[in-house]
Amino acid sequence: MGMKGRIAVIAIFMSLALLGIFCTSIAEAGKSENPGQIAGPLERKVILQRLYMDGEMSEETVTVKIVSMEDFWASYQDWQLIDQNEERIIFQKKEHDISPLLKANGFFGITEDGTLSIFNGKPEHSQIIQSFFQIDVGKLETYKQKELLKGIPILNKSRYEQVIEAYKPYSLPESEK
């Protein structure tokens, strides 16, 4: 075999070797030895629970395609993992805000026994969402009594905190309740 023949055999051998490497890498692409990588995108239901400072909890359910576990966990780093299984993953986060329910429809008011409470709507006939402390109604100025009977809209976190602080001095000591 001449020089050209040897070069042709070497070229064919090299081509087959490269083709073998290429085919093997394609076959292995679906598998991953890196635990942070997965074979193909996984779909999981992710439940995001938000706990608000007024005690309300909202829940949002999304379906997520997970390509990289590392990227998935990084995107929920501010959330606390509550539970997980083959179908779903539950995360929880404490929000330093009041719930959307209170912002939209929450009113401070007073119950018949004088307890400062938050109502879902105006206090007259609405459902109580949260109760705080009993107020010594006798110490309240008339306009503050009327304000509570009518209902004080909450609107935002600042207003929520202001109203609670404004009525704390009128709370009855534990022994008088």
Q: What is the pLDDT of residues 89-133, one digit of tens each?
A: 999 999 999 999 899 999 999 998 899 999 998 888 778 988 999
Helix, strand counts (H, E) of the chain? 5, 8
Q: Are residues 75 and 105 in the same domain?
A: no
Asked whether the whole model's pTM tops 0.75, one would answer no
CATH number at residue 63: 3.10.20.420
The answer to whether residue 16 scores a pLDDT higher than 50 is: no
Task: Select from 79, 97, 115 the last residue of a domain.
Answer: 97
Q: Are residues 35 and 93 in the same domain?
A: yes
Q: Are residues 122 and 84 in the same domain?
A: no
| Confidence (pLDDT) at 151 | 93
The answer to whether residue 175 scores a pLDDT higher than 60 is: no
